[in-house]
Amino acid sequence: MAVPAPIRVDAQVASLSQEGVASWRLRLRVPDWPGFEPGQFVMLSPGPRGAAPRTDPLLPRPMAVYRERRADGEDRAGSLREAEIEILFKRHGRGTALLASCAPGDRVGVVGPLGHGFAAISGRALLVAGGTGIASVYELAARLERRAPGSARVLLGARSGADLMGVSDFEALGVGPLIATEDGSLGKRGLVTDLLEAELARDASAHVYACGPTAMMRRCAEIAASRGAPCSASLENPMACGFGVCLGCAAPLRAGGFALVCRDGPVFDAAAIAWEVMP
């Protein structure tokens, strides 16, 4: 399927709600939304409240599209006159604090959908996500489940149960999730990569999809490689533009040189990334 052409529009906040400790669910009404592929992202600029344009913080923030909903409430890909897109994010800096302070009706600049998402695959899939990376894999899980029920399994990890996002959404899809928390407050005590090791030990034929902190994705890549399983990772480098011109989001490649996360990714073959020199 062709990647939808990106748009640049002013969206409107439909709702914003806090979930867990520092996680937020933002719904945006986006005119002319062209649909998106799982793994694609948008650049969000919370708009000015008054007449003067905001300059601080200056840059838009890249956010995975969690899922979309047509105005009549039905999920659908393809071109939409107006859609609601959902963003899950954590407040960890000034940009996300600004997003977390939005009110319904506020304007948010949207550029997207951007990047290349997860390539469609067949067979079994293991989706491994931690932190804000959870937002990148929901739509993939939904589409895999729709196409081949039971083929996808979702593994989520966090420091603590309260840090997790979207758990009930994954439960509603029927794709698990299996959960690991470092403090043992939810699911198994330990790392989500421990869950991956156990799953691959049982069946190494699965395709691994990973999104989360660099250390987590690097470990996923190592585990998958050791089992001979293919692994795709969705990177989350800082970027200023999202469409290949600031050149800020360079990711070092094992073959030498760099790829741009926004233009060449954000999803990469995990074996192509030089994880040991990722900042």
**Which residues here bind other proteins, judged by CB under 8 A?**
5-8, 45, 53, 55-60, 109, 111, 237-241, 243-252, 257-258, 277-279
Please, what is the minimum distance in Å from the beta carbon of residue 31 to other proteins? 15
Please, what is the minimum distance in Å from the beta carbon of residue 13 to other proteins? 18
Please, what is the minimum distance in Å from the beta carbon of residue 242 to other proteins? 8
- Amino acid code (one letter) for 219: R
> Which residues, at least 6 apart from 245, have a Cβ–Cβ distance to it below 8 Å?
none
Please, what is the minimum distance in Å from the beta carbon of residue 236 to other proteins? 12
Q: Which is nearer to other proteins, 174 or 238 (CB)?
A: 238
Distance CA 97, CA 32 (A): 27
Q: Which is nearer to other proteins, 73 or 257 (CB)?
A: 257
Q: Which is nearer to other proteins, 150 or 238 (CB)?
A: 238
Please, what is the minimum distance in Å from the beta carbon of residue 59 to other proteins? 6
Estimate to the nearest angstrom the gap between the alpha carbon of 128 and the chain centroid: 11
Q: Which is nearer to other proteins, 162 or 250 (CB)?
A: 250
Q: Which is nearer to other proteins, 54 or 146 (CB)?
A: 54
Q: Is 275 helix (H, G, I), strand (E, B) or coil?
A: helix
Length of the chain: 279
Long-range (24+ apart) CB contacts under 8 A made by 191-194 are 191/157, 191/216, 191/219, 192/128, 192/129, 192/130, 192/155, 192/156, 192/157, 192/216, 193/128, 193/157, 193/219, 193/220, 193/223
